[in-house]
Structure 1
Amino acid sequence: MIDIGTARASRSGPDITGLPAGAMDAIVMARHGDPFAVLGPHKIAQGLWEVRAMLPGAKAVSVVSHDGVSVFEVMEKRHPDGFFVARFSSRERPDYRLKIDWGTATELRQDPYRFGSVLHDSDVRQLREVGNDATYRFLGAQQRAHEGASGFSFAIWAPNARRVSVVGDFNNWDGRAHAMRLRHDGGVWELFIPDLKIGSRYKFEILGAGGNLLPLKADPVAFAAELRPDTASLLYGAPDFKWSDADWMAKRGQGDPRKKPTTIYEVHLGSWMRVPEENNRSLTYRELAEKLIPYVQEMGFSHIELLPITEHPFDGSWGYQTISLFAPTSRFGTPEDFHYFVEAAHAAGIGIILDWVPGHFPVDGHGFGQMDGTHLYEHADPRQGFHQDWGTYIYNFGRSEVASFLVANARFWLERYHLDGLRVDAVASMLYLDYSRKHGEWIPNRYGGNENLEAIDFLRKMNETAYAHSPGATTVAEESTAWPGVSQPTYTGGLGFGFKWNMGWMHDTLRFISKEPVHRRYHYHDLTFGLLYAFSENFILPISHDEVVHGKGSLLGRMPGDEWQRFANMRAYLGFMWGHPGKKLLFMGQEFAQGREWNHDSSIEWDLLQYPVHSGVKDLVRDLNHLYRAIPALHELDCEPRGFEWLVADDSDNSVIAWVRNGEKDGDIAVVVSNFTPVPRENYRLGVPFSGFYREALNTDAGIYGGSNLGNAGGVNAEEAESHGRPYSLDLTLPPLSTLIFERRGG
C-alpha cells in the first residue's frame, strides 16, 4: 500500500539514482531495446518506488490512485520530449494510473509498463512447433483481459530487431510511446496495452538489425486491415464467431469426397457483379450472400472457389500477392460480414473453397519482407528467396517459425471461418528449386537434386494438419507437372492433397477445340491422351481464370467458325467436360459464354443473358450440374479406373469420341458420345455393354440450349448387334458439334 504521507520522497528523500545512465536518452531517441527495464514502476530502495513514463506531447502527468481520485505524486518532466519520473514510498508494488494533461484534454490512463508478460514460455515455444494454432492465438493483436484490465496484447516475431514499438491512432503513431518487450527465448516482442478500441489502426515500428528504422510494418497476423490504398492493420482480435452451421459441418465429413458430385464455380468477388449506378462499385460480402449464393444454388454448383480474399494492396494481383494472410479483405466488408457470407453459403448447401497462397508474398515495404531488417520469412539468397516471374519473395519453408506461421494460417481459415477447402496456388513453383530458373540461378538440394525438400515437408505437414483438424474439408493442388503422388496420402509417400487440378487435360482439350473442325482429325490424340493418366491422381478438370486472361480471350473466343458453330462448339465441349472423369471447375462468366476476356475491374457480361444463345449455354451448364448429381455413374467413380471404359477412341476421321461411365451398382452406366464436326451423323452404330433402354439424358444440341434440335427422340433401345467389341449396340443420330449423355439403369 502506498503511504501518501511520504509521497514526496522523490524531492525530500535520499538522493538515490534509480535511472540507469543513458537510459532516458535511449528511450527518448527510441533506441532502447528493453523498455521495461526503464519504464513503469521500479523498486529503487526498500519501500521506495519510482515510476517512469514516456508520453510524447504530454504537458503534465500525475501518478494517481486506481480510481483516479487520490494523487500520489506529480511527475517531474525530465526531458522536454515527454519523459516523466515520480518517486514515492510504498510497502508493495503500487497499483496506479497516470493522469495526463495533453493541453487540450485530460486523460486517465493505465500504464502498460506496470503489467507483466502475457505470453508464457510454453506459448513462445509453440510458435516453433509446426502444426499447432499458436500463431493466431498468441501473435498479432489479441483482445484479452490481463491482470484485471481489458485491452489488446500485441506480439510479433522479429528476433533480430533492436527495438519494436506498436504505433497507431492511440499514440499519434509515435514509436516512443509503446515500445515492446523482447522475449529472448523466442525472438518475440510483446506488449499489453489496456483500454484500446476495436477498429483502431495500428502498425509496428521496427529498428532493424542494422540500426536503421524500417518502413512501418503491417501486422503479419492482423485479423482485419484498412481498405487500400491505406495499409494499416485494424484492432479486431482473433475471430470467434457464433455459428449455426453444425448440420452442414457434420454432413460434409460423411462419405468419400472422391465419390461426391463436386462442381466448382470459381469467382473473383470484386468483378462477379458490380453496381454501375454507384460508381461501378463491387458488391459487399452481405450483398454477395444475397445474390451470388442463390445464383450458384440455382445453377447446381456444389462449391464456390474464391480467388484470394486475404488482404492485398494491389487489385491487379487478384489477391495472389497478399500482405495480411489472416484478414479477409476490407474491400467487401468486415470479418463479421465475411462470416455472414460463409454462413449463408452453408445454409444453401454450398461449400466455400479459398485460393490460398503459401508460395510467395509481395515485396511492399509495409509487408513482412525483411521484417526485422533481415531476411526473416524469406530466404536471404535470391536464388532461393526471390521469385523472378512475379517479383515476389519466396518463403523459407525450412524455418520452423515460418512453416508454423503458414500451417496455422491454413488451420485459421478452415477452423475459424469454417471454410470447406483450400486450393493451394502455384504448387509447382514450390516443389522445384529450379522452377522458371536457368542454369546457375538456383541452388540444388543436399542430394544435388532440384526438389525443394523443405517445401515438400511443409506441404505434407500442412495437409496432415488440415485433415486432422477439419473433417470433411479438402485441399486442392494447382500443380502443373508430372510430380507423382500429389493427391496420395503422405504415409504412402504422397504430398497428401485431396485433389489436383488436371492442367494437362485442360491444355490438351482447349488446343483441340480451338482447331477448325476440318483439322481436328489430326489432333484427336489431344482428346484421348488424358485418359492415359486420368486415374493417377484425384483430378479436378479446371477451366479457370488463368484461361480467360492475358490475351487468351474467353472460352467462347477459343471456338472457331461462325456464330452458330462457336456456340455449338462450346456447348459440345462443356458436355464433353462434364461427362469426362474428374470433378469440374468453371470460372465465372463462362457458364453463359461471356464474349470478352475477363477484366478484374469490371463486372462479367450479365447483359448477354438477354440473348437466347447465351442464356442457352447457361441453361446447359445448370442442367449438366444437376445431371452430374442425379446420375451416380457420372460422379461415383470419377477417380477410379473401373469407372471408365472406352467405346470409341479411334474415330479421328469423324472426330467422334465415346466412352462408358460406370457407377457403383452393376449395370448403372452413362454413355457419353461427342461429335466434334459440324456434320450430322445418322445411323452411327455405337457398341454398348448392356441391353435395355438408354435414355437420352442430355443433348447439347437441344433447341432449348440454342441447338438445331437434332437427336434421338428421348432415347434408344440397345440392339443385339455386336459393335466396337460389345455384344449390344445403339443406332444413334449424332447432331453436329454436340455431346450426348445417355443413362442406363441397372437391373
Structure 2
Amino acid sequence: MQAPPHLSPADGRLLQQGRCDHPFDLLGPHGEGAERWLVVFLPDAAALTALSGDQAIAMRRLAGDVFAAPLPPGDYRLRAERGDGSTVEFDDPYRFGPVLGEVDLHLIGEGTHRQLWQALGAHVMTHEGVVGTHFAVWAPNARRVSVVGDFNRWDGRVHVMRRRSGGIWEIFLPGVAEGALYKYEILDAQDDLVLKADPLGFGSQHPPEKASMVRDIAGYGWHDGGWMDRRQAAQDRHAPISIYEVHPGSWRRRLDQDGRPLSYKELARDLVAYAQGMGFTHIELMPVSEYPFDGSWGYQPVGLYAPTVRFGPPHEFRDLVDAAHQAGLGVILDWVPGHFPTDAHGLARFDGTALYEHADPREGFHQDWNTLIYNYGRTEVQNFLIANAIYWFQEYHIDGLRVDAVASMLYRDYSRKDGEWVPNKDGGRENYEAISFMQNMNIATYGACPGIMTVAEESTSFPKVSAPVDAGGLGFGYKWNMGWMNDTLRYMAYEPIHRKYHHDQMTFGLIYAFSENFILPISHDEVVHGKGSMLRKMPGDEWQQFANLRAYYGFMWCHPGKKLIFMGCEFGQPEEWNHNGELNWPAAEKPLNKGLQSLIRDLNHLYRDTPALHVLDADAAGFAWLRNDADQSILAWLRKGRVGDPPVAVICNMTPVPREGFRIGLPQAGRWREAINTDATVYGGSGVGNLGGVEASGTALDGQLASAALTLPPLSVVVLVAD
C-alpha cells in the first residue's frame, strides 16, 4: 500500500517527535473518493482498525506510531489494540471541524469578547453529533499546544491542537467528560516543553496537585429571583450595607472529621444562617478563585475562573450563593486582578514569553509579594480580566467584587525606590493602563449586570475612585476608607487619659467622609501579622477592653459610611486570626464576648431599620456636629435622613468617667428613645444609662431648637432616636 500523498516522511517525523504545529493538515481523513485517506497517530497501539459502516479496515503502520489506510466515504470510528491485548473504540478527534467561529476569533483578537469564558477553556458539548469536550486556549507565541490528561496518558504528541487566528489553539476531544484532568503541554517560544493549567478552566485538582479539571457549569437551577429583582435597591448608596467578611476555610471546621473546613454546602447552611441571624446584609468571601498556596489566603490566584475545589465543586459554590440570596443576603467576592504568582503551572511566561505580565520587572514584578503584574496595556489581558469579572456576576450571581490592592495598580512607583520603576508617557507615576482597565471593567460590569457593586480597596488619596467614569472617576460603586480605619484605631489604642491629645484622629475622617461612597472596613488585615485582635488593641483590663471595643463599634455603626467587619471581631475573639484553624467559638460563649456579639446584632438591626443612619451615608446633608469636645473626649452628632425620617443623635464618651446631667442640643423637643447604649448590662456593661430615653425641652443648645439632659455611661456610645 502506498503512503498518503499529503503525508511526507518529514511530516511523520514531526508527529513522532511532537513538533508538528499543523496536525489537522496531516491527521484524520483527507482527499475524496478513491483518493480518500485516513492518517492516525497513536502511540502504544499494537494494531489499529478503522470502522466504517460494516467494514473493518486494518490500518498499516507507516513509521513509528503513524498509521494510514484508504477510507471509504462517510463517518468512521477507530479500534485500537494495545500491547496487553485490550481493545478500545473511540472517535478520531481529527475528523471534527473547528468549534470557534469567526466572530469569536475576531472579538478575542480585538480584546472585546466579554463572554470570553464561553469561547476559551474546556466545555462539555455535543459537536457534530458526538459528545465530548472542546478545549481552547490563547498562546500566540507557542510552537505547538496539546491537551494532555488522564485520557491520553499525558502524552503531548497525541492531541495537538488546531492553530487559529489571533493565537488561539482549539480541539474537540470526543468522549472526554466532566471530571477529566488535563493540562496544556506547550512547546513554547524558547523551544521548551512546559505544562500549564488552563487560564479559563472552571475547575482544578485539589492543591497541591496542579491539573485543571473539566467541569460542566451549565444547567444550574437558581431559586433567587426575588433577591435578584430587588438587588439594585439593596446595594445602592442609600441602602444599609453591613458586610461580614469571611475566610471560608477557617470560619468553622469539622473538628469531628480531622478539623477539615466546611464545604460550600455546609457554609450554605451554617454561615448563611449565622450572618442572617446577626443582621448583616452581605457576606464577603476572601478570594475563592483557585490558588495553590493556603498561606496566601487566596490573594495569589492561578485559576481566576475556577471556584476553589477546597470546599466543593462549582455547583455547590452556587448552592452557597443561592442560599444567601434566599436569606436576603448579598454575596461579595474579593477579586485579585492586580497580580498573580510565579508558579510554573500558572500564567507566568505562559507561551515562553511575557504574555500576561510585563517583560520588564520594573513594571511586571511585585517586590512586596514576589508576584507578577498584569500587562494592562495589552487588550487581550484586559479582556481576560474584564470577562472574568462579568463571569462571576453572570455565572455565579455574585452581587459585588471587592477589588484587592487597587493602590498598587494605580501607581507605577508603588513600593518602589527611585530607579526601580518606569514613568508613564508623561513622566509621571500614575499607571494610565491600569486606570483604563479599572474604568473599562466598571463600565462593562455595571452595563452587563444591573444591580451589582464594585468596591475598591484603595489606601491613597487618589481622587474620584467611586465617581462615574464619565465624570472623570474610576467608576467603582464604593471605596474602602482605609484612612478612617487607621486613624480611629490609633486613637482607640491610647489610654483614655491621653485621648484628648489625639481627638482629631476621630474627627479627621469627617472632613472627607462625603468625597467618596465609603465603606468603613475592619478587615482581616487588622487582626494578623502581630497586629493583635480587635479586643487586644484596646487598652486596660479585660472589662475595659470590652467596653472600649463596644464603644468603638457603636461609633463605627453610627458614623457615615457602610460597614464591614471581619469574622471573629463581632464577638471579640481574643487571639489574632489563624487561617489554619477555626475561630475561637468557645470564647464566644463567655458573657462579655456574648454581650459584644449581641451588640453587633442590635447595631445591625438599628442601622438597617433606621433610615437616618444609612440613606445619606455619602451625603453631607445627612450629618451635623452637635458637640466636638476634645478635653472631655466627647463626640456628639446628628444623623439625618430624608424628609419625614426621625433624626438620630449619637453621643460618644471615650473616657471611663460617667457624666450625669450632660446636656446636649437636639433638633426637636419631646421624647427621644435610647435605641442603643453600649454600656447596657445585656452587652456586658455596667448598666449606667437613661432608663430607655430622655425628654427634650425647648431650651436651645448646640445650634439646635431643643436640648435634653442625659447620663453618659463610661466608655460608651448612646444613640437617641426621636419618637
* TM-score tier (shorter): over 0.9
SS, match of residue 254 in structure 1: helix
Task: Report if aligned partners of 1:97, 1:111 keep a CA contact under 8 Å in 2.
Answer: yes
The residue number in structure 2 matching 1:679 is: 657
Match of 1:701 among 647, 668, 679: 679
Range 678-687 or range 124-133, more displaced? 124-133
**Which amino acid in 1 is paired with 2:17?**
M
Matched, 1:199 2:184: no
How many angstroms apart in 2 are the aligned matches of 1:382 and 1:263?
40
Deviation at 1:203?
A: 0.4
The residue number in structure 2 matching 1:35 is: 23
State the Cα deviation string for residues 312-352 of structure 1 (Å, max 9, x = none).
Answer: 11000000110111111100011111111111111101110
The residue number in structure 1 matching 2:715 is: 737
Match of 1:572 among 534, 551, 569: 551
SS, match of residue 465 in structure 1: helix
Task: Report if aligned partners of 1:674, 1:739 keep a CA contact under 8 Å in 2.
Answer: yes
The residue number in structure 1 matching 2:324 is: 345
Task: Report if aligned partners of 2:648, 2:721 keep a CA contact under 8 Å in 1.
Answer: yes
**Which amino acid in 2 is paired with 1:56?**
P
State the Cα deviation string for residues 17-64 of structure 1 (Å, max 9, x = none).
Answer: 431241111111101111111111122x76212211111111110111
Deviation at 1:610?
A: 2.2
Matched, 1:79 2:79: no
SS, match of residue 118 in structure 2: helix
The residue number in structure 2 matching 1:181 is: 162
The residue number in structure 2 matching 1:712 is: 690
Question: What are the ranges of 5 or more consecutive residues in structure 2 without an aligned counterpart?
Answer: none
How has the CA–CA distance of structure 1 residues 740 and 15 changed in structure 2, closer, same or farther, with 3 Å as cutoff?
closer
Task: Report if aligned partners of 2:612, 2:645 keep a CA contact under 8 Å in 1.
Answer: no
**Which amino acid in 2 is paired with 1:47?**
A
SS, match of residue 710 in structure 1: coil
How many residue pairs get matched? 722
The residue number in structure 1 matching 2:492 is: 513
How many angstroms apart in 2 are the aligned matches of 1:315 and 1:256?
31
Give the TM-score taking structure 2 as reference length: 0.98
SS, match of residue 142 in structure 2: coil
Deviation at 1:134?
A: 3.3
**Which amino acid in 1 is paired with 2:59?**
M
Task: Report if aligned partners of 1:667, 1:744 keep a CA contact under 8 Å in 2.
Answer: no
Deviation at 1:130?
A: 4.6
1:11-410 equivalence runs, <5 A: 11=1, 17-43=5-31, 47-65=34-52, 69-71=54-56, 73-80=57-64, 82-88=65-71, 90=72, 92=73, 94-104=74-84, 105-130=86-111, 132-183=113-164, 185-214=165-194, 216-254=195-233, 257-410=236-389
How has the CA–CA distance of structure 1 residues 314 and 660 changed in structure 2, closer, same or farther, with 3 Å as cutoff?
same
How many angstroms apart in 1 are the aligned matches of 2:472 and 2:291?
35
Deviation at 1:571?
A: 0.3
How has the CA–CA distance of structure 1 residues 101 and 724 changed in structure 2, closer, same or farther, with 3 Å as cutoff?
same
Task: Report if aligned partners of 1:199, 1:235 keep a CA contact under 8 Å in 2.
Answer: yes
Task: Report if aligned partners of 2:6, 2:26 keep a CA contact under 8 Å in 1.
Answer: no
Task: Report if aligned partners of 1:543, 1:585 keep a CA contact under 8 Å in 2.
Answer: yes
Deviation at 1:195?
A: 1.1
How many angstroms apart in 1 are the aligned matches of 2:141 and 2:662?
74
Report percent identity of matched pairs. Answer: 54
Match of 2:530 among 551, 563, 566: 551
Deviation at 1:609?
A: 2.1
Task: Report if aligned partners of 2:611, 2:645 keep a CA contact under 8 Å in 1.
Answer: no
The residue number in structure 2 matching 1:604 is: 583
Task: Report if aligned partners of 1:33, 1:163 keep a CA contact under 8 Å in 2.
Answer: yes
Deviation at 1:102?
A: 1.6
How many angstroms apart in 2 are the aligned matches of 1:15 and 1:705?
88
Deviation at 1:15?
A: 7.0
How many angstroms apart in 2 are the aligned matches of 1:643 and 1:492?
23
How many angstroms apart in 1 are the aligned matches of 2:233 and 2:544?
43
**Which amino acid in 2 is paired with 1:30?**
G
The residue number in structure 2 matching 1:434 is: 413
How many angstroms apart in 2 are the aligned matches of 1:640 and 1:240?
43
Deviation at 1:239?
A: 3.8
Deviation at 1:128?
A: 3.7
Deviation at 1:143?
A: 1.4
Task: Report if aligned partners of 1:299, 1:621 keep a CA contact under 8 Å in 2.
Answer: yes
The residue number in structure 1 matching 2:453 is: 474
How has the CA–CA distance of structure 1 residues 102 and 16 changed in structure 2, closer, same or farther, with 3 Å as cutoff?
closer
How has the CA–CA distance of structure 1 residues 510 and 304 changed in structure 2, closer, same or farther, with 3 Å as cutoff?
same
How many angstroms apart in 2 are the aligned matches of 1:129 and 1:691?
65
CA RMSD of superposed structures (Å): 1.3
State the Cα deviation string for residues 462-488 of structure 1 (Å, max 9, x = none).
Answer: 111111111111000000000110001
State the Cα deviation string for residues 683-734 of structure 1 (Å, max 9, x = none).
Answer: 1111122222111000000000000000011111112223223232121110
How many angstroms apart in 2 are the aligned matches of 1:286 and 1:259?
32
Range 501-510 or range 127-136, more displaced? 127-136
SS, match of residue 59 in structure 1: strand
SS, match of residue 464 in structure 1: helix
How many angstroms apart in 1 are the aligned matches of 2:29 and 2:117?
31
Deviation at 1:446?
A: 1.0
How many angstroms apart in 2 are the aligned matches of 1:17 and 1:47?
12
Question: What are the ranges of 5 or more consecutive residues in structure 1 without an aligned counterpart?
Answer: 1-10
How has the CA–CA distance of structure 1 residues 15 and 357 changed in structure 2, closer, same or farther, with 3 Å as cutoff?
closer
Task: Report if aligned partners of 2:3, 2:68 keep a CA contact under 8 Å in 1.
Answer: no
How many angstroms apart in 1 are the aligned matches of 2:256 and 2:124?
39
Range 687-696 or range 470-479, more displaced? 687-696
Task: Report if aligned partners of 2:637, 2:649 keep a CA contact under 8 Å in 1.
Answer: yes
Range 565-574 or range 687-696, more displaced? 687-696
How has the CA–CA distance of structure 1 residues 317 and 683 changed in structure 2, closer, same or farther, with 3 Å as cutoff?
same
Range 736-745 or range 534-543, more displaced? 736-745
Task: Report if aligned partners of 2:554, 2:717 keep a CA contact under 8 Å in 1.
Answer: yes
How many angstroms apart in 1 are the aligned matches of 2:645 and 2:116?
52
Task: Report if aligned partners of 2:572, 2:588 keep a CA contact under 8 Å in 1.
Answer: no
Task: Report if aligned partners of 1:128, 1:404 keep a CA contact under 8 Å in 2.
Answer: no
